[in-house]
Amino acid sequence: MPLRVTVETASKSEAELIAQQLPVAAEAQSWRGLGVIRIDLKNQKDVHGILEAVSHGFEEHRLQWARVRYDDEERVFKSNGRRS
């Protein structure tokens, strides 16, 4: 069953950093000032790879926050006051 995954960040430039690290081809866009990446996956098993890639990119680029939404789930990454 196909699944839509949405990754949101504070800006399009941050979304572009995350998009480069995803295990699937993805394009960053801007929506109301936020960075947004929309991905259509073929099944829910692939979500784990997306979450791992977002987590890695979040840490590597020291982003302030990122959110991944899929199905009825949401995973939020926050910097907890860390400055970049």
CATH of residue 68's domain is: 3.30.70.600
Based on the structure, what is the number of domains in the chain?
1
Whether pLDDT at 80 is above 90: no
Residue 84 within a domain: no
- At residue 83, the pLDDT reads 54
The pair of structure tokens assigned to 22 is 């995803």
Contact assessment for residue 37 and residue 58, using Cβ atoms and an 8 Å cutoff: no
Residue 83 within a domain: no
First-to-last CA distance in the chain? Answer: 39
Sheet holding 34-41, edge to edge: 28-31, 34-41, 3-9, 65-70, 73-78
Mean pLDDT over the full length of the chain: 92
Residue 45 within a domain: yes
Q: What is the pTM of this model?
A: 0.88
- In which domain, by residue range, is 34 found? 3-78
At 9 the three-state DSSP class reads: strand
- Whole-number Å distance between alpha carbons of 48 and 64: 21
Backbone φ and ψ of 29, nearest 5°: -130, 170
32 pLDDT tier (thresholds 50, 70, 90) = very high
Residue 55 within a domain: yes
Residue 27 within a domain: yes
Whether pLDDT at 4 is above 70: yes
Residue 35 within a domain: yes
